[in-house]
Amino acid sequence: MPTIKDVAKYASVSVATVSRVLNKKGYVSKEAEENVLKAISDLNYKPNSVARSLYHKTSKMIGLLIPDISNPFFPELARAVEDVALTYGYTVVICNTDEDIRKEAQYLEALQQKYIDGLILTTNQLSTENYENLGIPLVALDRQFSNRVPTVSSKNYEGARKATEYLIENGSEFIAHIRGPYHVKPADDRYRGFKDVVEEQGIAHIVVDCDFTMTNAMEVAEGLFEKYPTVDAVFASSDIAAAGVLKVAKSINKQIPEDLQIIGFDGIPLGEMLTPAITTVAQPIYKMGALSARLLIKQIEKQLLDVRNYEVETTIQYRETTRSDT
């Protein structure tokens, strides 16, 4: 691999001149520039980004901290982040934290040592200071964070309200909510949205807990249908959970959506692949990822952010696990 010195020698100029040509900075005569350009192409020279990083203390890399890329919510997000990053010349380092405080700390240290330029966080077991002390731009995606950190999330509360109202409009009278983990902001908001609507309208309801796995959702659903056979609608806090409910409901021969309506949340591709396809409160996942990446890169490049907190709209994807009210 040729270095800038080789190029300088070949073009009979100093390394400073080569650097000026590369970075289009400072005065360079036309002649010198041509020589340098020719040298670069003759030698197939590529500037070494590590050396650049060392001087500039930046790396053209961003970190994406997610709980687990195997969770179907995240691949699309990761894809969006990566697409945007690529167009701006950044590469993305992916970090599966499993919501484990030690793994997070380990990544943070490794990334900091690599002069990572910024972080997109969909996970934060560590206290926020740990992140802010890094002194690099951050974006919180789908999570609550300190108000110094720009956030991107969808209107979880509102989406949950819409979902619940829709179930009620379609005639359901005893609605179960399968909620997500506590202290996870989106899960809490969805729960509040549900609760507010059922209480306002005086609808019978029940809330059960569930983590993000389908196995757990199925267990929970089994218990639910056994204890409350008259439940006639389920609003699940995620599509994975909804899929679990659907599977269980079908196994005990409930007619969907006649006996039981199901509505999920997230809008992951899985929902469409199932039969019946799951009605869901879809978040624009790709858009959220892309937006986060753009917000992060804007900060990295010292541009001012006009808005610091984005709440994107959710839309109900009307599919086959709910009755139409029209």
Place of tokens 């807990």: 209
- Closest to a second copy by CB, 86 or 305: 86
Strands 279-282 and 315-317: antiparallel
Shortest Cβ 132–a second copy spacing (Å): 15
160 binds, among DNA, a second copy, none (CB under 5 to 8 A by kind): none
User: 321 near 248, Cβ under 8 Å?
Assistant: no
Place of tokens 């997109």: 120
- Closest to a second copy by CB, 70 or 230: 70
Q: Alpha-carbon distance 166 to 162, whole Å?
A: 6
**Contact window for DNA (CB under 7 A) among 5-13, 63-71, 104-112, 189-197:** 5-13
Fill in the per-residue mask, 43 to 82: x = in contact with DNA (CB under 7 A), - = not in contact.
--xxxx-xxx-xxxx-------------------------
12 binds, among DNA, a second copy, none (CB under 5 to 8 A by kind): DNA
- Closest to DNA by CB, 54 or 305: 54
Q: Alpha-carbon distance 129 to 319, whole Å?
A: 43
- Closest to DNA by CB, 30 or 302: 30
Among 9, 14, 155, 209, binds DNA (CB under 7 A): 14
Cis peptide before 257 (omega within 30 of 0): yes
Residues in the site for a second copy, rule: CB under 8 A? Answer: 46-51, 53-54, 59-61, 68-70, 72, 74-76, 78-79, 82-83, 86, 89, 91-96, 103, 106-107, 109-115, 214, 243, 246-247, 250-251, 269-270, 273-275
User: 62 near 121, Cβ under 8 Å?
Assistant: no
Q: Report the largest interatomic distance among the alpha carbons of the chain, rounded to a whole angstrom.
A: 86
Among 26, 171, 223, 229, binds DNA (CB under 7 A): 26
User: Does the footprint of DNA cover residue 32 (CB under 7 A)?
Assistant: yes
